[in-house]
Amino acid sequence: MKKLSFISLAFAAIGAVACSDGSVKYNVSGSGAPEDGKTVYLIDGINSERIDSAVVAGGAFQLKGKAPKDALLNVNIDGSNWFFLLFNDGEPVTLNAADNSLTGSELNDKVTECDLWIYEQMSHLSELGNKLTELSEKVPQTDPEFQTLLQQYRTDNLAFRKGLTDKLEANMDNLLPVAFAREAFSLIGVDKVREIVAAADTPFGTHPVVTGLLKQVDEEEARMKEMQERAQAIIGQKFLDLEEPDPDGNVHKLSEYLGQGNWVLVDFWASWCGPCKAEMPNVVEVYKKYHAKGFEIVGLSFDRQKEAWVQAIKDWEMPWIHLSDLKQWQTVASDTYAVKAIPDNILVDPEGTIVARGLRGDDLKAKLAEIFV
């Protein structure tokens, strides 16, 4: 189906007759292709490698060969953003590029039905989202018309998520959920997936894609834990120096401002960060209240676009020091200070020692009130 961000990998089928080398024959017949001469690709759904191709003639094409048993095969016509999902279960598949339909085995029919349903639901939600964006430019968000449309979006979104969750949970005895494995992780929850994997010898729970995704989750959780430990470990330590340009392009080091006799809040933020924008009035308030008493702020932006960065400094009324290498999450500050999410900050004492981290709202106000009694 269309490569919407919500739609993910599909994988294996069962019940096929394997060739002697463990592979399964595939036979894909297509019609309704919009343009002769276009190349049609058969793609491995796990590693995205092209494993076969054919050229459209008379609106039709055919792909024949062998691929690993239980593999997902995606079919894509060059220039199209639609990817047909099919399980290589040894049964012939017929697809129509004119209406994105696919028929084959019972499993492949169910996957296609679910795939098209997801696309229909996502298109509807996308349309509502666009309407909300357009309306927000004309009326305030408190306007009754906006609130009504917003409630419709929320209601329809919840209905979609529940509908898909029900479909996935009702098919845990077959491979349909594997076709939408990431959705299963998101909607059912990682803990529930772990229960399924541990409790039963199901096609979903034993599939290598699912166990592979669990491994990725475990690795990510370990990485996040390590970053959290690093983030907290710097409290009580001297600040780590780095250098970045200011809005005029002049490069500065943190050591120009830290350890120079002032209390300094190093603020990690970005113009595209909604929570940063929501928190900024609190930061502005404490800056105005304590700046004359020896309080400074150095903003380290996680922006990529200079124009957006500079405009936010102006619009959000942030009259302090600003630096950014405009590398977003690849910024030097991210690794140096183990920043895993923004907004974030560190508070540095006049001697250059980090005394606190992640102070926001009332916690930030209370800490500074304690310092500047």
Both tokens of 327, joined, read 């590398």
Q: How far apart are CA 345 and CA 338, in angstroms?
A: 11
Render each residue's pLDDT in the chain as its tens digit; 373 residues. Answer: 443 333 333 333 333 333 445 788 999 999 999 899 999 999 988 778 999 999 999 999 999 999 988 788 899 999 999 999 999 999 999 999 999 999 999 999 999 999 999 999 999 999 999 999 999 889 888 999 999 999 999 999 999 989 988 888 888 888 888 888 888 888 778 887 888 777 767 777 777 777 788 888 888 888 878 877 877 888 999 999 999 999 999 999 999 999 999 999 999 999 999 999 999 999 999 999 999 999 999 999 999 999 999 999 999 999 999 999 999 999 999 999 989 899 999 999 999 999 999 999 999 999 999 999 8
Pairing of strands 61-68, 23-31: antiparallel
Q: How far apart are CA 232 and CA 254, in angstroms?
A: 20
Assigned CATH class of 237-372: alpha beta
Partner residues linked to 268 by β-bridges: 300, 344
Q: What is the pTM of this model?
A: 0.61
For 23-99, CATH number out of 2.60.40.10, 2.40.50.140, 2.60.40.1120, 3.20.20.70 equals 2.60.40.10
Both tokens of 349, joined, read 């004492």
Both tokens of 202, joined, read 């199901």
Give the angle 124-128-129 at the CA atoms, nearest 5°: 115
Q: Could you tell me the residue ranges of all domains in the chain?
A: 23-99, 108-231, 237-372
Both tokens of 322, joined, read 């600003």
In this structure, how many other beta carbons lie within 10 angstroms of the beta carbon of residue 326? 16
